[in-house]
Structures are given as C-alpha cells and as structure tokens.
Amino acid sequence: MTWDWNAVQDFMPRFWDGLVVTLEALALGSLISFALGLVWALLMRTPTRWVRWPVGVVTEFVRDTPLLVQLFFLFYVLPEWGLTLSALATGVIGIGLHYSTYTMQVYRAGIEAVPAGQWEAATALSLPAMRTWRAVILPQAIRRVVPALGNYVIAMLKDTPMLMVITVLEMLGRARLFSQQHFQFTEPLTVIGVAFILISYLASLLLRALERRLVR
C-alpha cells in the first residue's frame, strides 16, 4: 500500500468544509446541552412534585435511548407532525438534547457539593432565592463541574459523525463520500482520524486552562 499525497490534496477542500460543519454542530450542541442541562437540574430541585416527575421521566427516557434513534425520530418523524428543520439544525438539537440529560447530572452533583454553610449564610442575609442561586450557589457549583462538562464536549465531538445518517456532511461524511467516488479510503480516513485527535487534544488543553483560571 502506498500513500497518495494527491488524494490528500484533492480531499482537503472537502475536509475544511466538513470541519466547519463539525465545529458548528459541536459548539451549538454544547451550548444547548449546557443551558438545557442547567434548566433540568434546577427544575429537579423544585419542591413541586408535578414539575419534578415529568422532568425526571423525560430526561430518563432521553438518556436511556440511543442518540441514533433520537436523530432518526427528529429528522423523519417530526416532519409528519408539521415540524420541519434543516438537517444540521436537527442534528444540533438532537445532540444538545441528548447530552443535556448527562450535564443535568453533572450540575446536580455540583450543586449538592456546595457546602451547607453557603445556603445558611444566604438565608441569614435574607437574600432572595433568585439572588442566592445567581450570586452564591451557581458560581460555586459551575466552578466545580467544569472538568466533567469538558469531558462531555469531547464525547459530543466523537458523536458528530452520527449526523451523517440524517444527511449532514460533517468530516466523516465528506470523507466517506470522497472515498466512494475515488475508491481511496486510507488517505481521507487518516486525515479525519488525525483531525479528531488534534481537536480533542486542543479542547482538553483549553478546558484545563479554564479550570485553572476558575480555581484561582
């Protein structure tokens, strides 16, 4: 087997297009999962049973079903109900919703790790509940959970190739299409593998830097 640099050169324009789609899906999916996960975690702490119960059922169902099934459902079933989204928007929502059920558990652990004295101090100062959460509890909780949230960012990156099944041509999708058209598999798949390694490594470095900054 010989390495064909011409194949790499021919593939690179498609690779850059796929990289943009991958990073876009990762960034938007991460934002949805972080924001929605925090919402789930806060709703699960409400004293109202009729709020906690539906949230618990929905998040448990999402967490216990495969992401692939959820993507198929969002892309192929929702249009039958009159809700049609682009393939990329569907993929972003699918990834964000799926991982929000995991980030919810991360936030919950971070909130429970805040010392009881912090709650008591906020009560002694007669702080409103909203201000207690915003100024006392959440800053401490989020600082504790940054490493765990970072792990899910990398997990989401590795799941972006699943978007190929709903016609989103991210990096692996474009490599597969190129390979089928040119009957060259080694070069594009190697490029994609190296790209995933580099992106994951850079993301881990950024997350470590953020973690160090928050610990100060």
pLDDT value of residue 147: 84
Distance CA 64, CA 169 (A): 27
pLDDT value of residue 216: 61
Q: pLDDT tens, 109-167?
A: 998 888 888 877 877 877 787 888 888 888 888 888 888 888 999 999 999 999 999 99
Q: pLDDT tens, 52-90?
A: 999 999 999 999 999 999 999 999 999 999 988 999 999
Distance CA 150, CA 38 (A): 15
State residue 85 phi and psi, 5-degree precision.
Answer: -125, 160
| Residues 170 and 163 sit within 8 Å (Cβ to Cβ) | yes
Distance CA 216, CA 214 (A): 5
The pTM (predicted TM-score) of the whole model is 0.91
Distance CA 168, CA 150 (A): 24
pLDDT value of residue 64: 93
